[in-house]
A and B are shown apart, each in its own frame.
Chain A
């Protein structure tokens, strides 16, 4: 398996909301995004959600599943949302994570260029936080990996991926690389 770098970005500023990979080459089998990313938000929980938006979607035809969120009106293994984006809970470190600057990030999308099959994929992220919500566990820190399954309930080939945190802007130093596999 040979990966070909299709695009990469290292965020240097402090006001970037989104990294958007456009005009994605359709001549590979799969897409893979790897990198490290965090949000600069200082509010809320010590982690934030990750959004992956394909093809500038604006309609409610996509679904996301997470290892953490398991309720849905139609499928207990899916999030209840049928959002125009893929949403993954607590994938990314934030400025509240005192022991972790960035979360590792991995996204894999097989058959992204197919126009006949619904696309499935996976995403992984992780957070190490120094300020747990409950001290009763006796732990001074906690660490967890988040794994999400993806169902893109369309048959459109993926030509664009927008990636961004739900809260705050993308922390300077975050970097993403997109590969064709």
Chain B
């Protein structure tokens, strides 16, 4: 079972309860949201890297050295 540990700070009592269907659904929803965000971030990073490579290549065609490009 999927469980939650509850620590009551006023009594010190520790209880273990099963997650409700609503809590399980919430967990699934947040996981999907995190996955979607990560995919979006990875796509943005990939585009940024591709744009940089493309830009560097164009600068090289204009005659800039690798050091000059890196110094920008």
Chain B residues in 8 Å Cβ range of A16:
3-5, 16
> Given A17-B19, A169-B2 in contact, is the A9-B27 Cβ separation under 8 Å?
no
Chain A residues in 8 Å Cβ range of B34:
49, 87, 166-167
Check: A45 CB closer than 8 A to any chain B CB: yes
Check: B9 CB closer than 8 A to any chain A CB: yes
Q: Is the CB of B5 within 8 A of A20?
A: yes
On A, residues with C-beta under 8 Å from B are: 6-9, 11, 13, 15-25, 44-45, 49, 51, 69, 85, 87, 162, 164, 166-167, 169, 178
> Given A166-B30, A166-B34 in contact, is the A13-B3 Cβ separation under 8 Å?
yes
Chain B residues in 8 Å Cβ range of A87:
34
> Given A15-B2, A17-B27, A166-B30 in contact, is the A7-B7 Cβ separation under 8 Å?
yes
Name which residue of chain A comes closest to B4, CB basis: A18
On B, residues with C-beta under 8 Å from A are: 1-12, 14, 16, 19, 23, 27, 30-31, 34-35, 38, 41
Least Cβ–Cβ distance between A114 and chain B, in angstroms: 18
Least Cβ–Cβ distance between B21 and chain A, in angstroms: 13
Chain B residues in 8 Å Cβ range of A6:
9
Q: Is the CB of A85 within 8 A of B30?
A: yes
Least Cβ–Cβ distance between A178 and chain B, in angstroms: 7
The answer, among B4, B11, B12, B35, for a CB contact under 8 Å with A20, is B4
Question: In the bound complex, how far is the Cα of B9 from the Cα of A8, in angstroms?
Answer: 9
Chain A residues in 8 Å Cβ range of B35:
44
Question: In the bound complex, how far is the Cα of B4 from the Cα of A20, in angstroms?
Answer: 7
Q: Is the CB of B6 within 8 A of A20?
A: yes
Q: Is the CB of B8 within 8 A of A22?
A: yes
24 residue pairs A–B, Cβ–Cβ below 8 Å:
A6-B9, A7-B7, A7-B9, A8-B7, A13-B3, A16-B4, A17-B3, A17-B23, A18-B4, A18-B19, A20-B7, A22-B6, A22-B7, A23-B8, A24-B9, A25-B9, A44-B38, A45-B38, A49-B34, A69-B41, A87-B34, A162-B4, A167-B31, A178-B7
Question: In the bound complex, how far is the Cα of B30 from the Cα of A49, in angstroms?
Answer: 10
Question: In the bound complex, how far is the Cα of B23 from the Cα of A21, in angstroms?
Answer: 17
The answer, among B6, B11, B30, B41, for a CB contact under 8 Å with A51, is B30
Least Cβ–Cβ distance between A123 and chain B, in angstroms: 16
Q: Is the CB of A18 within 8 A of B5?
A: yes
